[in-house]
Amino acid sequence: MPAPPVRNFCIVAHIDHGKSTLSDRLLEATGTVDPRDMSAQLLDSMALEREKGITIKARAVRMQHTARDGQQYKLHLIDTPGHVDFSYEVSRSLAAAEGALLVVDAAEGIQAQTLANVYLALEQDLALVPVINKIDLDVARPEAVAAELADVVGFSHDEMLYVSAKTGQGIEELLQAIVERIPPPRGEQSEPLRALIFDSEYDPYKGVIAHVRVVDGEVAGRAQLRLNAADRRFEAMEVGSFSPGLRALPQLTAGDVGYVATGLKEVGDVRVGDTMTMAGRQRPEPLPGYREPKAMVFAGLYPANSVDYQDLSDALDKLRLSDSSIIYQAESSAALGFGFRMGFLGLLHMEIVQERLEREYGLELVFTAPSVEYEVETTDGGVERIENPSLLPAPPRIAEIREPWVQIHVITPQQFVGAVMEAVTSRRGRFERMEYLQRSGVSGNGGGGDEQIRVLLEYAIPLSEILTDFYDDLKSRTHGYASLDYTLTGYQPAKLVKLDLLINGEPVDALSAIVHADRAASDGRRLADRLRRLIPRQLFDVPIQAAVGGRIVARETVRAMRKNVTAKCYGGDITRKRKLLQRQAEGKKRLKRVGNVEIPQEAFLAVLQIGKD
Amino acid sequence: MTDAAPLSLYIHVPFCTVKCAYCDFNSYAALEHLSGDWLSAALRELELWSERAAGRLVQTIFIGGGTPSLLEGDQIARLLDAARRHFSVAPEAEITLEANPESVSIERMRGYRAAGVNRVSMGVQSLDPDELRFLDRLHSAERAEAALSEIRAAGFENVNLDLIYGLPQQRFETWRDTLERVVAWRPEHLSCYALTVEEDTPLAARVAAGAVVEADPDVVAEIATWTAQRLTRAGYEHYETSNYALTGRQCRHNLNYWRCGDYIGVGPGAHGCFDGLRYSVVRRPAAYIRRLASVAGGPNGLPSPAIEDIEAITEQDALIDALTLGLRLREGVDLHGLQRRHPAAFAEVEHVIEWALRTDLAEQHDAQLLLTPRGHAVANEIFVRLVDPSLLPPPTTESLA
Ligand SMILES: Nc1nc2c(ncn2[C@@H]2O[C@H](COP(=O)(O)OP(=O)(O)O)[C@@H](O)[C@H]2O)c(=O)[nH]1
Ligand code: SF4
């Protein structure tokens, strides 16, 4: 009996446009899971992801589907991480497929990040199937969205599929389109094994489980295998498919999507984008597109209570098992003690990691403000990479500082263009290009035309400028309508200086920031003022100073507290009085001590607010 | 034969006419119909304690609330008769009753006097009509003044007045006017409390909702300093954080709390400290009445079935309590005595005491440790460090600006 034909596809969608709901419908419609067993949104398995509405961990589910012609198909739905920070991971998921469903909310239209992923999919020659979802909504305007898609991506109108993942309307047609429009995998079963790793997860019994797309050849349990970039050999403990749980199979063959249990203990060995081959002497050409994971954003991470350092260290080791993209390395700060400098793929990634550490590992942490990685050319011709502002070499040693720049895409309704422009230019951004996403004011709801016209704006901007409050600012300026996507473009020299903060006369390394020279004095003033408001009054006056290159640019004082005493004695309720004091002591414990000044954790994030008044 | 260690007795009356917005005492505005049952229960609770307290001399009795002055003279007489029947009450015992101006009358006061009450503590709080309204008080300044005359006319020569400062938007002038008028009345004792926004009170809700803005702490500190100076000039001794008295008129009952003496608490929500245990009585009046109708005997061998929470005082707690209560007093604490009684716990906090001395928050006279005026103003900063000595940085890095 010949193996059933295969179709491999991803879903590209903006957050909340219905990717998870649609995946669930597909799993149900193909009988992969019983509707009764359906915990809502099976693919998003982590609680945090569900809460944030994003998928971090890609999964690849195998479905069986009998098409209209009676033919049985194997469909592999490869989930993609749903955020801009994970664009490399997205590109590898896309590389594992021959087609992608482009799911767009019928009420909201296409978003910047989706468009970025569309471009990624087009680069890889994927067959794109436009799916307009949520057509059951009253506010849906499917024709307008269809026009937009036709305009921006170049679809023809009869290509559009109209679906409601909620009601199930259009799901059959969608399955048929997947079978008809997405090409079968190319690849040679008879060639030596080449499998693309597009994700991994850790299992305490099976070691690192590689999620793979077999491009050529086949792989079975017990096979002796090799990871190309990592240069690691291992014996496959098991191979199988996600159905949707792990289901062992005798082998995976060219075109298949599934998993290989490696037995390896180091997640860092099983890298997204790497090629898995047989361990023999014959070495086929590795698959194209491998890239070392690149951290874009860095922050110091310290236990709120220094006795928890070991717990933090253990937590990071464990966290890395489920997120191999984090990097970290021990560092110490005079202000904060022993901790780590962590690198993240992007801002959201950083937020997720911070939240997981606090929520899943119950750690109380102090984070320093995020920083980018600077390139510093020293006067002796060397180049240093600086990701911790306090480690910037002294000015006389610096020949040039370069900072990373990104290109950003913003999609926004037309009337907010001015506001967006201002947000970008006030952050040293440069306008590059603007494109209307619709030729005319086509709109659903019979509504007024203008606000439906959306534009795509492209800018170049230093990464450090969008690290802090840029996205929030963008959202508020556009009443929540703007969407954002960014890609690293390279390094450019800049006039940057280190801004130091002194509390009670002592420089606090964890509060240092690298800022643009023209803004250093005003940033210093704002930061000092912010700290004055964040630092509680102590038993003595606490001077706060901001300094640039040893020159004081701002000075504030937190006045000594004058009164802190409980008035009453609670009618003999001494236990209550003691508990109250114990609670206050707990609160005080969470403060960090710099010299003899107690500083709340939020103060270390004050640098974040540097651009705000 | 009686033990030398003094014993105090606290009796809680849980009734009030209205519930003040800032109040977190165990008092209820709509339960006066329970007062008969409450009295029977309290009488029984006093009786249950009699065996356990045998041999101890009761030096002070405090009938607090709530608003005990809602009770008639004969009800107080029955309480105090029971107290004298079941306890050895010292002939010169201080017997205080709390009152609110609106429920004071000369007849009632005469009744209390006849029952044996020899000290009255009245909640005046303020003489400013706006402030009184803000505090939900039922009386006017005139009523407070008249009530004091009635108390005096009934023969009381030992009277305390409670005042509150640090109200939201407190103006110094209104406080000064209140205090000047009250000082002219020459009460033997004054309690001046800074308003505390207690959790779960209507006031706390209003603050949380932003409807009320708490007073500027600097203004409150200002008022506290001025008050201490003014009252000292008027001949009052500032003998505890919030308390002032003419010579010999300190509140002996509260002094016993602050010196960590034993006390038995009777009535709903009352607290006691007896034989190394701290306990509290069930708070709800109905539950209190029900429990006292049941068989005798409470937890841990304590005699009252209405006793709910019990805590054995550890060495460490005992020391912390002794310090955090005793240092509120101007007289301070006897360090040698404490070190002798709790040597291990003392070693833990010794560096905190040294720090307080070094930073002029405290001073030492022979073995007596006492807080400086600055130390009194920021006493909680010292107390939290006593409770958790690890909060204090190593001595070498310490420096005061
Ligand atoms: N009315 C309607 N709601 C939908 C539809 N598809 C998804 N949703 C809702 O849209 C929200 C986001 O969907 P979800 O599948 O979690 O989006 P994801 O973030 O792309 O995975 C959820 O509240 C869904 O219930 C649809 O076809 N119609
Ligand atoms: S009168 Fe006293 S006990 Fe009664 S509610 Fe007011 S503050 Fe509370």
- pLDDT one-digit tens code per residue, A389-403: 999 999 999 999 999
Q: One fold for both A194-278 and A397-494?
A: no
B270: chain A residues, CB-CB within 8 Å: 571-572
Q: Does residue B263 sit within a domain?
A: no
- Domain A397-494 -> CATH class: alpha beta
What pLDDT score was predicted for residue A442? 41
Q: Indicate the helix (H) or strand (E) that contains B48.
A: helix B35-49
**Backbone region of residue A83 per phi and psi (left: phi > 0; alpha: psi in -120 to 50; beta: other values):** beta
What pLDDT score was predicted for residue A52? 40
B203 lines ligand 2 (CB under 6 A): no
Which-ligand-closest: CA of B122?
2
Which of A542, A563, A574 is the closest to B325 by Cβ? Answer: A574
Which residues lie with the beta carbon below 6 Å from any ligand 1 atom? A 13, 15-21, 41, 53, 133-134, 136-137, 164-166
Q: Find how far residue B319's CA is from the centre of its chain.
A: 20
Q: For B376, which residue in chain A has the nearest alpha carbon? A: A565
Same domain, B227 and B337: no
Which of A563, A574, A581 is the closest to B220 by Cβ? Answer: A563
B317: chain A residues, CB-CB within 8 Å: 578
Same domain, B15 and B87: yes
Same domain, B203 and B339: no
ipTM of the complex: 0.90
Min Cα separation A573/chain B (Å): 6
Six-digit token string for A352: 């997720």
Residues near A584 by Cβ (< 8 Å), separated by ≥ 6?
B380, B384, B387
Q: Say if residue B105 is exposed, middle or buried (CB neighbours under 10 Å; 0-12, 13-18, 19+).
A: middle
Q: For A571, which residue in chain B has the nearest alpha carbon? A: B271
Distance linking the first and last C-alpha atoms of chain A: 71
What pLDDT score was predicted for residue A37? 57
Min Cα separation B385/chain A (Å): 7
CA of A147 to the centre of ligand 2 (A): 70
Min Cα separation B218/chain A (Å): 7
CA of B139 to the centre of ligand 2 (A): 12
Measured CA to CA, the distance from residue B6 to residue A574 in angstroms comes to 18
Asked if A572 and B257 count as a contact pair (C-beta separation under 8 A), the reply is: yes
Measured CA to CA, the distance from residue A603 to residue A586 in angstroms comes to 18
Asked if A320 and A266 count as a contact pair (C-beta separation under 8 A), the reply is: no
Instruction: State phi, psi for A332 to the nearest 5 degrees.
Output: -135, 150
Query: Domain end: B217, B238, B257, which one?
Result: B257
- Assess A540–B contact: CB distance below 8 Å, yes or no: yes
Q: Does residue B395 sit within a domain?
A: yes
Which residue's alpha carbon is at the smallest distance from atom 8 of ligand 2? B23
Q: For A587, which residue in chain B has the nearest alpha carbon? A: B384
Instruction: Domain ranges for chain A, please list them.
Output: 6-181, 194-278, 297-367, 397-494, 497-609
Q: Which amino acid is at A292?
A: E
Q: Does residue B334 sit within a domain?
A: yes
Determine whether the interchain pair A571/B271 forms a contact, defined as Cβ–Cβ distance below 8 Å.
yes
Q: Which fold has domain A194-278?
A: Elongation Factor Tu (Ef-tu); domain 3 (2.40.30)
Same domain, B325 and B234: no
Same domain, B225 and B352: no
CA of A17 to the centre of ligand 1 (A): 6
Q: Which atom of ligand 2 is nearest to the CA of B24?
A: 8
B121 lines ligand 2 (CB under 6 A): no
Q: Which atom of ligand 2 is nearest to the CA of B22?
A: 7
What is the DSSP secondary-structure string of A203-239? ETTTEEEEEEEEEESEEETT-EEEETTTTEEEE--EE
Q: What is the mean pLDDT of each run of 10 residues along chain A (613 residues)?
A: 86 90 91 65 45 47 91 92 75 93 94 85 92 96 92 91 96 96 93 94 90 96 94 95 89 95 90 93 88 86 88 90 85 90 88 86 86 95 93 93 94 92 94 79 41 84 88 86 86 95 92 92 92 93 93 95 84 87 89 86 74 50
Q: Does residue B244 sit within a domain?
A: yes
Q: Does residue B247 sit within a domain?
A: yes
Q: For B164, which residue in chain A has the nearest alpha carbon? A: A567
Which of A565, A569, A578 is the closest to B254 by Cβ? Answer: A569
CA of A107 to the centre of ligand 1 (A): 12
Which residue's alpha carbon is at the smallest distance from atom 13 of ligand 1? A18
Min Cα separation A563/chain B (Å): 5
- Assess A561–B contact: CB distance below 8 Å, yes or no: yes
Which of A561, A571, A578 is the closest to B320 by Cβ? Answer: A578
Asked if B276 and B5 count as a contact pair (C-beta separation under 8 A), the reply is: no
Same domain, B26 and B131: yes
Which residue's alpha carbon is at the smallest distance from atom 28 of ligand 1? A134
CA of A37 to the centre of ligand 1 (A): 19
Min Cα separation B400/chain A (Å): 7
- Domain A297-367 -> CATH class: alpha beta
**Are β-strands B119-125 and B159-165 bridged in parallel, bridged antiparallel, or unpaired?**
parallel
A560: chain B residues, CB-CB within 8 Å: 401
Which of B221, B257, B388 is the closest to A572 by Cβ? Answer: B257
Query: Domain end: B257, B290, B307, which one?
Result: B257
CATH code, B329: 1.10.10
Determine whether the interchain pair B398/A577 forms a contact, defined as Cβ–Cβ distance below 8 Å.
no
Query: Domain end: B257, B282, B303, which one?
Result: B257
Min Cα separation A114/chain B (Å): 42
B394: chain A residues, CB-CB within 8 Å: none
B227 lines ligand 2 (CB under 6 A): no
CATH code, B145: 3.20.20.70
Measured CA to CA, the distance from residue B325 to residue B240 in angstroms comes to 10
Same domain, B15 and B94: yes
Six-digit token string for B380: 């909680």
SS3 B308: strand
What pLDDT score was predicted for residue A354? 86
Per-residue pLDDT tens digits for B219-259: 899 999 999 999 999 999 999 999 999 999 999 999 999 99
B42 lines ligand 2 (CB under 6 A): no
Min Cα separation A569/chain B (Å): 9
- Assess A577–B contact: CB distance below 8 Å, yes or no: yes
CA of A443 to the centre of ligand 1 (A): 22
Q: Which amino acid is at A123?
A: E
Six-digit token string for A157: 């109108």
CA of B22 to the centre of ligand 2 (A): 8
Neighbours of B294 (CB within 10 A): 9
What pLDDT score was predicted for residue A57? 45
Determine whether the interchain pair B381/A578 forms a contact, defined as Cβ–Cβ distance below 8 Å.
no
pTM, rounded to two decimals:
0.71
Q: Does residue B80 sit within a domain?
A: yes
Six-digit token string for A78: 């490869």
What pLDDT score was predicted for residue A438? 65
Q: What is the CATH number of domain A6-181?
A: 3.40.50.300
Q: Does residue B302 sit within a domain?
A: no
Q: Which amino acid is at A345?
A: L
CA of A16 to the centre of ligand 1 (A): 6
Min Cα separation B260/chain A (Å): 9
Asked if A128 and A102 count as a contact pair (C-beta separation under 8 A), the reply is: yes
Q: What is the CATH number of domain A497-609?
A: 3.30.70.2570
B386 lines ligand 2 (CB under 6 A): no
Determine whether the interchain pair B379/A565 forms a contact, defined as Cβ–Cβ distance below 8 Å.
yes
Number of domains in chain B: 2
Same domain, B83 and B163: yes
- Assess A596–B contact: CB distance below 8 Å, yes or no: yes
- DSSP one-letter code for A382: -
Determine whether the interchain pair B378/A565 forms a contact, defined as Cβ–Cβ distance below 8 Å.
yes
Q: Range of B330's domain?
A: 315-400
Q: Provide the strand spans (E) within B218-268.
A: 237-240, 243-245, 262-266
CA of A222 to the centre of ligand 1 (A): 42
Which residue's alpha carbon is at the smallest distance from atom 23 of ligand 1? A16
Asked if B362 and B370 count as a contact pair (C-beta separation under 8 A), the reply is: yes
Distance linking the first and last C-alpha atoms of chain B: 57
Determine whether the interchain pair B270/A572 forms a contact, defined as Cβ–Cβ distance below 8 Å.
yes
Closest CA to A366 of A301, A429, A308, A292: A301
Residues of chain B predicted below pLDDT 70: 1-4, 393-401
CA of A136 to the centre of ligand 1 (A): 11
* Best B372, B388, B396 residue to mutate vs chain A (most A CBs within 10 Å): B388
Q: What share of chain B is helix, strand, coil (3-state, %, to 5)?
A: 45, 25, 30
